[in-house]
């Protein structure tokens, strides 16, 4: 399994940026990308741990439910 970095655009468009064997390396790389002076418009960078690229893209495309919380604690 590996750590993948993706650019995530609106409408679930994904672009693979890099792949790393260790989280430390992936974390450092994504921090550099986020701190860059001119990141692509309306995109977010995500690190995902997955078996392969297809699994990573599947995980990133899934709609996650909002975590339960106290009503009025928004």
pLDDT band at 74 (very low <50, low <70, confident <90, very high): low
Q: Is 8 exposed, middle or buried (0-12, 13-18, 19+ CB in 10 A)?
A: middle
Q: For the chain, which residues make up each domain, given as ranges?
A: 2-60
Residue 73: its pLDDT value, please?
59
pLDDT tens-digit profile of 35-64?
Answer: 988 877 889 999 999 999 999 999 999 887
Interval 14-24: pLDDT, tens: 999 999 999 99
Q: Considering only CA atoms, which of 9, 36, 33, 11 is closest in space to residue 20?
A: 33
pTM of the full structure: 0.82
């Amino acid at each position: 399994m590996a750590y993948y970095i993706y650019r995530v655009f609106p409408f679930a468009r994904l672009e693979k940026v890099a792949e790393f064997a260790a989280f430390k390396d992936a974390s450092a790389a994504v921090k550099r990308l986020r701190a860059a002076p001119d990141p692509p418009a309306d995109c977010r960078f995500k690190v995902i741990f997955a078996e392969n690229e297809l699994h990573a893209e599947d995980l990133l495309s899934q709609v996650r439910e909002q975590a339960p919380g106290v009503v009025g604690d928004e």
